[in-house]
Every structure is written in structure tokens, then in C-alpha cells.
Amino acid sequence: MVSLNDLIEELDCTLEDFLDQVTLAIDLLEEGEQDEAVEVLKGLEEDLFDFLGYEEMEEGDEAEGEEAEEEEEKEKEEEKPKKAPAKKGKK
């Protein structure tokens, strides 16, 4: 079993790694090595996507993803049982 303290320590190490990459990119920019800095930042971007659980999608895939979400919502609404009409009580 993993303790909360272990998870916090792992998160701290991961964030320190990200900070190290940002610092390296800044140092490279200051030295005039823009191409290398861009590569470091691209690597950082990929690491952050992985860390956050994002998946890279093509532009056409984004529209398809939105359509699929809309279809799922419609299906869920159709699956919900309809409410029975309220019974009228005697007066």
C-alpha cells in the first residue's frame, strides 16, 4: 500500500524535474541557443501531457471527439427511464 507521504514525495520529485527543465530552457535561451531551448520545452510539454494524462489529438480528431461525446450524452439521455405521469389525488 502506498502512503500519502510517498505520493507527495513522488509528486515533489516530478515537479522538481519539471522545474529543472524550465531552468535549463531559460539558461539555453540566455546563451542564445534557441533551438536547444525549444527542444527542451517540447520535451517538457510531452512530460506534462503524460503527467496530466492528456492524449495528443490531431485537429480532425478533435472534432470527431466532440461528436462522439455529444452522441454519448444523447444515448445516456435516451437510456434514462421516463418519469411516470403524476397521479391525480382525490379532492
Mean pLDDT, residues 27-32 taken together: 96
> Mean of the per-residue pLDDT values for the chain?
81
φ, ψ of residue 15 in degrees (nearest 5) = -65, -35
Closest Cα to residue 44, out of 26, 20, 18, 13? 18
| Higher pLDDT among residues 82 and 88, named by residue | 88
Whole-model pTM: value is 0.56
Q: What integer pLDDT is reported at residue 28 of this predicted model? A: 96
Say yes or no to pLDDT of 81 above 70.
Answer: no
Distances (CA, A) of 57 to 14, 48, 68: 24, 15, 14
How many C-beta atoms surround the C-beta of residue 46 within 10 A?
12
Say yes or no to pLDDT of 65 above 70.
Answer: no
How would you class 25 by CB atoms within 10 Å of its CB: exposed for 0-12, middle for 13-18, buried for 19 or more?
A: buried
